[in-house]
Amino acid sequence: QKEVEQNSGPLSVPEGAIASLNCTYSDRGSQSFFWYRQYSGKSPELIMFIYSNGDKEDGRFTAQLNKASQYVSLLIRDSQPSDSATYLCAVLFSGGYNKLIFGAGTRLAVHP
């Protein structure tokens, strides 16, 4: 079983819609979760992090965490073509030192 799983996509949404990106993880002890955006040919850029169950909002982005279900998601409201990128979910390994485990990423395509 992969430690961090994401649907590879592509997830295609029309401009202005809500894009919903999902991630599940296997390490029950994990406490910290991150979403990175990676444009083609570029390095990952941190866009959200979440530690507590529930929702965390930052502009058009909302991260949702459910530790009981080992599930974290990212919602992008009013999607724009500039949001088209690969979104990487990362989980902080609970084994005692700072190690991020990344999912394979979901490719998002926002079409006009």
Interface positions with other proteins (CB under 8 A): 32, 34, 42-46, 49, 88, 92, 97-105
Q: Which is nearer to other proteins, 96 or 112 (CB)?
A: 96
CA-CA distance, 90 to 70, in Å (whole number)?
A: 13
Task: Give the nearest distance from C-beta 100 to other proteins in angstroms.
Answer: 7
**Paired tokens of 98:** 């700072």
Task: Give the nearest distance from C-beta 31 to other proteins in angstroms.
Answer: 11
Q: Which is nearer to other proteins, 54 or 112 (CB)?
A: 54
Q: Which is nearer to other proteins, 98 or 112 (CB)?
A: 98
Instruction: Count Cβ neighbours within 10 Å for each residue of 37-75 and write b for 16 or more, e otherwise.
Output: beeeeeebeebbebeeeeeeeeeebbbbbebeebebbbb
